[in-house]
Structure 1
Amino acid sequence: MWLLPPVLLVVLAWGLDRVFPLPAPPAPATRVLAEDGELLRAFLSPDQTWRYPIALEQVAPVYREVLLGYEDRAFYYHPGINLLSILRAAWQNLNAGEVVSGGSTLSMQVAGMLDPYPRTLTGKLRQALRTLQLEWHYSKDEILNLYLNLAPFGGMLSGVESASRHYFGKPALQLSDAEAALLAVLPQRPSDWRPDRYPQRARRARDKVLQRMQALGLWSQARVEAALREPVAALPPEPPLLAPLLARRLRQVCPSCTELPTLIDAGLQRQLQSLVESYSARLDERQSLAVMVVRNRDRAVRGYVGSARFGDPASQGHVDMTSAIRSPGSTLKPFAYGMALDRGLIHSHSLLLDTPRYGLRYRPHNFTGGFSGPVTVMESLQRSLNLPVVQLLEHLGADSFVAGLQNAGLELQGEGVRQPNASVVLGGVGSTLESLVGTYTALARKGQAGAVRLQPQQPDPDRWLMSPGAAWISWRMLAQNPWRALGQVSETPWRLAWKTGTSYGYRDAWALGVSPEWTIGVWVGRPDGSPSPGRYGRQAAAPLLFRVHELLPESSQSLTQPASVSRQTVCWPLGTLESQSHNHAGNCLQRHQAWLLDNTAPPTLPQAPDLLQPALLRAIWQDAETGLRVAPGCRAEGQKLEQQKIALWPLQAEPWLKPEWRRDERLPTAANSCSRLRSTAESLRIIGIEAGSHLQLPPGRTALEVDLRARGAQGGLNWYLNAEPLPEQPGQGLALTLHDSGDYRLSVVDASGNTDSIEFSFQRSDTGE
C-alpha cells in the first residue's frame, strides 16, 4: 500500500510530461564556412539571433572550467535544483537588502531559456518543474551543451561560439583565460556588461570571476594576475562578410541547413575582396565585376567574388555575375583551335587567312577593323583575330563545335545552340563565368573539363574536351607574356596562358587565365546588359586577371609536354613539313617552328570548305631550254619537257605578299604556242601610281589628292590602305587623299578574288614637315 503514492507520483509526472513536453531548442543560425572552418558569412536564426551551433569538445576547456567553477560547482551532482545554493542566495539577498545572487543552477537557467517564465512565485515553480523535466530527458553533458548554445551574450548574440566570434574574432576553442572569464559571467547581465559598449563594467565583472577562481583554489595567483593584466577589447558584434553571394547561393539551395561547408580559402578570399575593392575604383558607378579562382587539381573554388560592391544599388551589387548568362565574346576560340588540332586540320603554325571574305555569306570583322593577310594559328589565337577562326570553324563544323563544348559540360544557351553557325565562336551564344572557368581547366588537366566544385561533397567527374596533346599546344600558344608588348622584360618565366574576350557592343569584358595550378576567370561589365563603351577584355579585365595571378602561390613545376607533341619545321605557303619532297626547289618561302600533334603537319586550309579555289601546289611542264610553261597538248615536236611542282599562296593573301611571292611571279611565262595557258582576261592592275613611287606634296597644299583606277576588274572593288579598308567607291576608281608622310601599301580586290597591290611613299615637303 505504501508503494501507491510513489507510483501515482511517477504516473502523474509521466502524464504531465506528455501533456506539457519540453519546448524544442530554437534553431541555430546558418553558417557558411571556409575549407578550414573559418566563418565566411552567417544568416540569422528564425528568432533573429546569431546562434552558432557548437559541441562541448569545440569549446576551450578553460571556459568550461571557469563556467562550472563560478556558476555551478555541483552541476554534475545535483538533480537540477541545488537547495543549498538557493538558501545561500536567499540569505545573501536578505543581508544586502537587494538581489545579489540568484541561486539558479545551470540546469535551471537552461530551463528558463527553453521556456521563459514570469518573475513571480508561480513562474519560479514552473521553472523548477521544467528543470526536473530537463534533467529527466537530458544527460548532464547534453544540458551543458544546451547552455553553451543558448546563453545570452548581449544584443543578438546567443551561445558562446557566436559571442567568441563576434567579440574576439576567433572560435570558442581558442579562448584565453581572461576571455573565458568574461564570457562566463556575461550571461548574468548581458546588456550591462557588453565589452564592445561598456569595457570598464565588463572588466570589473571579469576580474571578479578571476579573483573567485583564485579564492576557490582552482587557479594559482600567478595565472590570475596574468589574466588580470589582459585588457578588455572587443570587436563590434558584426558577422563577417566573406564571399557573401556564394553564401547566399548555397543557403538558397539548402535553406534548412545550419552549416554549409565550402572549399573557399578564407585568406585568399580576403585578398581578392580587397583587390576588387581597389580595382573597382576605376569602374563607373553602374559597372560591376566578378572573379573566380579554381585549383586545377580538384577544380575546387578557392576564391569567389560575385560583384564589385556587394549590396550597392547603382551597380546592382546583389546580382551574382559568376552565374549570369552573358555572351562570352572571343573566349571560346581556344576550344575551336584545340578541336581542330585533334581533327588533324591544323598545327600551331598553319597558315590562316585574315583577309576579306568575298563570295561568302558570313563576313565578320576583326575587333580593330583591319586585316593582316596570312597569319599563323598561334598569331591568330594570341591576337584574337575573328576571320581566321571563322575560316577554321567552317572546316570544323559549327554543329560539331557546339556539341563538343556541351559534351565537355560547358553551359550554352541561345539561338546559336539551337541552330549553330560560325558566329558561335565569336560569342553568338550565352554562357557563364563559372562554366567557362570549369571548361578552361581542361588546358591544365590534359584536356579534361568539368564543373567547378563549391563544396567538399561535390563530385569531380572529368568530361573529355580535347586530347592531352591538343590541350598542351593550346595552353602553350596562349602562354604569352603580356608585358613584352609594353617593352618591359621580366626575369620570371611566364607561366599563365590567358585569353580575353569582348562581347558585341562592349557589353562584357572577359579575361580567362590558366597556370599549371590555377584557373582564373574575370568578368567586367554592367549587370543590366547595357554597353560600357571603350571597355574591352584586354583593357578592362586582363589587368585584374594578372593581379589576381600574382596573389596565388605557384610551384616551379610546369605542365609536362605530352609524348604526342613534337616541334618541327614547316614551310609556307603549303604548311607541310620542310622534309617533304615538294618543299624543295624554292617552295619553302617561309619557315616556322611548329608544335605538331602526332607528327601531323596538315596542309594549308582553303578559305572555306565549299569555295572552289585553285590548288596551292601546282604541277607544271616547262621547256627544258627556254623555261617557258607549256602543256603536253601544245608541245612542239622534239621539245624536251620537265615537270615542276610550284607552291602558290592562296589568292586572298596576294595583297599582303612580297611582289616576288605573288602568283604571276611564281608561275613561269606561258609559251606562245600554248594560248590556253595564257589568260584571255586582263590582269587586275592599279593605274595612277607606279609601284615604288616617291610622292611629294606641292607647295601651298595641305593634302595630296590622287585619282586612281583599277584596270581589268571583274565586279565590285574593295580598296585597302596599309591593310585598313577604305570607304566604298563608285565604279572602278578611287579618290585617294594623303595627309601624313610615310610608307604606304595600296591594295585592291575585285568580286572574283583577283588582287593587286603597290607600295609607295609620301613626303609632305623636302624638309619632312
Structure 2
Amino acid sequence: MALKKILGKTRAVLALLLAVLIVRSLPYLAPIRANDLVREGVAIEFSDRRGLPLGTILSRDQNHTAVVPLQQISPQFIHAILAAEDGRFYQHGALDMRAIARSLLQAIQAKRIVSGASTITMQLARMLEPAPRTFSAKIKEIWLSWRIAAGTNKDDILEAYINRLPMGGNIYGVEAASRVYFGIPAADLNLSQASLLAAIPNNPNYLNPYDYWEPLKKRQRYVLDRMVEEGYINRSQRDRAYEEVIALQPRQQGIIAAPHFLFWVASQLPQKHPSPIQTTIDRPLQQFVEAQVKDIVRSLAPHNVHQAAAIVIDNRTGEILAYVGSTDYFAQTQLGRNDGVQSLRQPGSTLKPFLYQLALEKHLIRPNTILADVPTHYAIPEAKLYSPSDYSETFQGPVRIRIALANSLNVPAVRVLEKVGVAAFLERLHQLGFEHLKQDPEYYGLGLTLGSGEVSLWELARAYYQLSVISKDGYGQGNQSDSIAITLNPPVQLPVISSIISPSSWSLVTDMLSDRYARAKSFGVESVLNLPFPAAVKTGTSSNFRDTWTVGFTTDYTVATWVGNFDGEPMKQVSGVTGAAPLWNRIMLHLHEKREPAPFPSPPGMVKRPICALSGLKPTAACPSVVQEYFDPEDLSEYESHPDTFYQAVSAQKGQYRLNLPREYDEWLAKQPQSSNLMPSALKILSPNTGDYFLINPADPQRQRLEFKLGGVGNQPVEWRLNGEKIATNSSSSLFWQLRPGNWTLDVKSGEMMDRVTFQVRVGEKKNHRRGFSTAAPANTP
C-alpha cells in the first residue's frame, strides 16, 4: 500500500516536471531573434534653402530616438544601468528567481510590495508590448521574456533595451538623451553624466532634467551607491561624480528652427533618402515669423489667447518658406508640440471665396448680382428654425456680390450655396485639396460655407495659393509650379483641378478680395487688412470665437495665419481681424519691405460698366450712387436692356424720386430707422405681403391678431380699409387686426399716396406656404 502511494507521488512529480519542461520549452518553438528587436533610428539632418542648418531630429515622428550598437555606448552608462536596474543580468535567465524570492519574502514581512523583481529582459518585453499592470499582463510579459531569451543573447537584449529606454518627455534611448541633454554622443558620457541618465528611466515623467532636477539628483545618488555595491566604482569616484557640475543643453533638442516642419517632413520621407536634407525653408524668415507668432500671442494673452500658427508659400515656385506650428514646440505645458498648421479646426468664413468663384463659373450669379441680406429662416429637420446672421446681428438689405464677399456676410453666402448646391461645392473643395471634409453633403448642409466642416491651415494655404496662381495666369501656365514643394526632393503634389472653365471668375474673386473699399463696411478702409500694395485677403472666425483665421496673397506670396487655443477654449471677443490678421499683416509687410509686388491682372476678357450701387443695374438719372463693375461681354445686352428699377421718379421736373425695393425687403425695411435713406419715400405696406396665407388656431381664435405695418408714413393721417370697409384713420405706422377667415384686400391711403395687398385667412389645417425652407448649420462670424 505504501509502495503504491510512493509510485503515485512519483508519477505526479514526473508529470509536473514534464509539464514544466514542455511549457519551458515552448518559447524555443517561437523565439524572438535579435533582428526582430532592431529599431530604426537614423538621425536626419536638415538645412534651409541656402544651406543654413535647421537642426537634427532623431526619428521620423515627434519622439527623439537614436539607435547605436552596444560598442558605441559608454561603459560607464552600461555599468550604471545594470547596477540600477538588474545587477545580476548576466547571471540569470529571463527571470531572476533569487530576486523573485527576495521580493516575495519582503512583501510577506512588510505586508506590501517593497521591491520589484523585473529583469531587464522583462522590462524589454514590456516596452515591446505595453499593457496595464494586471496579473494576466504579467503572465504575457513572462512568456514574451522567455521567447526573447530563447532567441537572443544577452548583449543583444541589453542593446535593444538601452536603445528603448524612456529618458523623459519624448526622448527614447541613451544616444538620443545624451545628444539632447548634453550635446555629445553616448560613447563620450563620463561617470557623472552616465549615472544621471541611468537615473531617469525609473520614473521618466518626474525625473526630467529640465523640470525635476532635485529628485533626479536624489535618484542619481542611488544609482552611484548601487555601482559601488556592484564593484564598478569606489566611494571616492562616487562622491566626485555626484558633486560634478553638469551643464544641460537648451530645450531646443538640437533644433535651431522650424521643429514642426522638420517632423512633418521626416514623416513623409522615403526609407532611403539623402542626408542632409535641404529644405525650401528660409531660416531668417522662419525665425522672424516664429518671433512674430510669440509676440502676437503675448499681446492677446489678456483675451485668453495662447497659441498661433503661420505658413508662407512662394507663389512663383510653390515652395514653403516658413512654417510655424505653435508659439514654442518645446513648451509641453502649453501643448506646444501640437501643430497648428496641420490641426483640424472650423474655418469660419475662409471658404466663401471658393463658393462665389464656383457660382460665378457656373453663371449662377453675375458680378452685378444683388443678394438680399435680410432676416431669412431655414427649417432644419427635427429642429427649430435657423436664422443665420452675422456677428453684428444686423442686416445690410440689398448687397452686391462684391460687397457680400468682401464683408463676409453670412446670409448672402447661404443664398449662393443654395444656388450652387452643397454637393457641388463640396466636390470643388475636394478638388482644391480639402481632403478632411469626408462627410456626406447632408452632414454639412448649408453651413458648409460658414465653416461647419473642419479643415487645416495647410489646406487653406494650398487652396489660396491655387487661387493666386490661377488668378495670375491660369493653373500650370507661365512660370508657376503645379505643386507645393516641402523639400527640394521630393515635392508634395497638390490636387490638380482638371479644367478651368472660367479663368476670369478666379481673377474676379481676387479683385473683390483685394478691394479695400468694398470691405470698408465691416473692416474700415484703414484696417490691418489694408497694405500699401495690392493684396487679396479673407478673414474667418469660428463659432464662439474658438478660432480666428486670416489667409491672403500678393502676386509673390501666400500667407495663412491662425490664432486660437489648442484645447478649444474660446477667446474673449477676438475675431479674424483682431486675432490672426495682425500676424498676417506683419508677415506680409516683412516679405515686401524691399520690393513691392506687381498689381493683380484684370479679369481676362471682362469689361467694366457703371452700375447703380443699390440694384446692380444700369444707372438711371434717379440713381444717387454709381460704381464700376466687371461684366462678361455676353451679359452686356441684358445690362443695356434692364436699367435700374430700385429708384423711381415721382416728379422728374422737381427731381423727386422714391425707393421701390422688391417685396422680399419689406420686413427688413420695417426695422430700419425712420431717418434711414433706405426707407421708402412713398407709402408702402410692409406686412402682410400679397399672397400671404394665415391660419387661425380653432382652439383659441379670439387671441390671434395680425399686425399691419407701413413704411413711408409722414405726418399726414393714414386711412386703412379692409375689403373696402374703413377700419381706422390714424398717423401710426402699424395697426393690429383680429384675424377672421376670408380673402382680404388691404388698402391704405395718405394724401395722394396709396398701396394695396391681398392675403388669405383660413381655419383648420394649414396649406402649403408659398415660401420654401432649406437646411443650414449655425452661423459663424466673419
Name the TM-score, length of structure 2 as normaliser.
Answer: 0.51
Q: Deviations over 1:703-730 (max 9, x none)?
A: xxxx977227899xxxxxxxxxxxxxxx
Are the structure 2 counterparts of residues 362 and 564 from structure 1 closer, same or farther at C-alpha, using a change threshold of 3 Å? farther
Q: Equivalent residue for 2:284?
A: 267
CA displacement 1:19-55 (0-9 Å, x = unmatched): xxxxx9x975211232223221212489x99999xxx
Give the partner amino acid of 1:592: V
Which of 490, 503, 506 is the matching residue for 1:471?
506
Q: CA RMSD in A?
A: 5.3
Distance apart, 1:683 and its partner CA: 10
1:326 — aligned with what?
Answer: 345
- In the alignment, structure 1 residue 401 sits paired with structure 2 residue 421: no
The residue that corresponds to 2:611 in the other structure is 570
**Aligned pairs for 1:529-568 within 5 A:** 529-553=568-592, 554-568=595-609
Matched-pair contact (CA < 8 Å) for 1:315–1:526: no
When residues 476 and 602 of structure 1 are mapped into structure 2, their CA distance, relative to the original with a 3 A threshold, is farther
Q: In structure 1, the residue corresponding to 2:627 is in which secondary structure?
A: strand
Separation in 2 of the partners of 1:265 and 1:649?
Answer: 55
Gaps of 5+ in 2: 1-37, 76-173, 192-248, 380-384, 477-481, 649-657, 686-690, 692-705, 718-730, 740-758, 761-768, 772-782
- Provide the residue aligned with 2:487 in structure 1: 455
Q: Deviations over 1:564-598 (max 9, x none)?
A: 222111236653445xxxxx6x6756533112244
**What pairs up with 1:100-115 in 2 under 5 angstroms?**
none
Q: Give the secondary structure class of the aligned counterpart of 2:403.
A: helix
Partner of 1:509: 548
The residue type paired with residue 471 of structure 1 is: W
Distance 1:506 1:691, change over 3 A: farther
Q: Which residue of 2 aligns with 1:375?
A: 399
Asked if 1:352 is matched to 2:371, the reply is: yes
| Aligned pairs for 1:22-41 within 5 A | 29-41=43-55
CA distance in 2, matches of 1:49, 1:531: 33
CA contact (8 A) 2:305 2:571 kept: no
Question: CA shift at 1:485, angstroms?
Answer: 2.8
Q: 1:49 to 1:413 in 2, by over 3 A?
A: closer
**Cα distance, 1:397 vs. partner?**
1.8
- 2:735 aligns to what? 711
Matched residues in 1 for 2:680 and 2:733: separation? 24
Q: Tell me: CA distance 1:189–1:473, structure 2 relative to 1, closer, same or farther (3 Å).
A: closer
1:384 equivalenced with 2:408 (yes/no): yes
Would the aligned equivalents of 1:338 and 1:470 in 2 still touch at CA under 8 Å? yes
Structure 1 Cα separation of the partners of residues 709 and 638 of structure 2? 30
Tell me how far 1:261 sits from its aligned partner: 3.5
Residue 250 of structure 1 is matched in structure 2 by 265
> 1:293 is paired with a residue of what secondary structure?
strand
Q: How many pairs were matched up?
A: 473
2:627 aligned with 1:592: yes
| Mapped contact 1:686–1:709 kept (Cα < 8 A) | yes
Shift of 1:543: 0.7
| One of 217, 235, 239 as aligned partner of 2:254 | 239
- Partner of 1:548: helix, strand, or coil? helix
Q: Distance in 1 between matches of 2:359 and 2:738?
A: 35
Once the two structures are TM-superposed, the CA of residue 491 in structure 1 deviates from its matched residue by 12
**SS of residue in 1 equivalent to 2:351:** helix
Matched residues in 2 for 1:511 and 1:597: separation?
Answer: 30
Task: Provide the C-alpha distance between the structure 1 equivalents of 2:437 and 2:343, rounded to a whole number of angstroms.
Answer: 11
Matches within 5 A, 1:648-659: 648-654=660-666, 655=669, 658=677
Q: Distance in 1 between the 2:460 and 2:64 partners?
A: 39
Gaps of 5+ in 1: 1-23, 53-111, 117-154, 168-185, 193-234, 579-583, 605-614, 621-645, 667-675, 677-681, 694-706, 716-749, 755-769
**3-state DSSP class of the match of 2:350?**
helix
Shift of residue 465 of structure 1?
6.7
Q: What does 1:190-209 correspond to in 2, within 5 Å?
A: none
Q: Structure 1 428/371 Cα, relative in aligned 2: closer, same or farther at 3 Å?
A: same
- Give the conservation status (yes or no) of the 8 Å contact 1:327–1:503: yes
2:334 to 299, 315, 322: 315
Secondary structure in 2 matching 1:544: helix
Matches of 1:594 and 1:561, distance apart in 2: 12
Larger Rg: 1
Cα distance in 1 for partners of 2:326, 2:716 equals 57
TM superposition shift of 1:468: 2.5
Q: CA deviation at 1:434?
A: 0.3
Question: Any idea what SS the aligned residue of 1:523 has?
Answer: strand
- With over 3 angstroms needed to count, the CA separation of the structure-2 counterparts of 1:598 and 1:51, relative to structure 1, is farther
Q: How does 1:97-246 map to 2 (within 5 A)?
A: 239-246=254-261
Q: Take 1:434 and 1:313, find their aligned partners in 2: how far apart are those partners?
A: 23
Query: Relative to structure 1, is the Cα distance of residues 574 and 286 closer, same or farther in structure 2, using a 3 angstrom cutoff?
Result: closer
Distance 1:603 1:323, change over 3 A: farther
Q: Is the 8 A contact 1:346 1:602 kept in 2?
A: no
The aligned amino acid for 1:567 is K
Q: Is the 8 A contact 1:310 1:317 kept in 2?
A: yes
C-alpha separation between the residues in 1 aligned to 2:189 and 2:733?
93
The verdict on how the C-alpha distance between 1:465 and 1:357 changes in structure 2, with shifts beyond 3 A counting, is farther
Compared CA separation, residues 392 and 325, structure 1 to 2 (3 A)? same
Counterpart in the other structure of 1:343: 362
* 1:235-292 residue CA offsets vs partner (Å, 9 max, x unmatched): 9897333110111122233485554432111121111112212222124477211101
- State yes or no: 1:282 paired with 2:299: yes
Closer, same or farther: CA 598–524 of 1 in aligned 2, 3 Å: farther
Structure number with greater CO (CA < 8 Å, separation at least 6) is: 2
**What whole-Å deviation, never above 9, does each CA across 1:409-428 have from its counterpart, x for those lacking one?**
22342656454521110001
TM-score normalized with structure 1 length: 0.52
Q: CA 1:550 to 1:602, structure 2 compared with 1: closer, same or farther past 3 Å? A: farther
Relative to structure 1, is the Cα distance of residues 533 and 314 closer, same or farther in structure 2, using a 3 angstrom cutoff?
A: farther
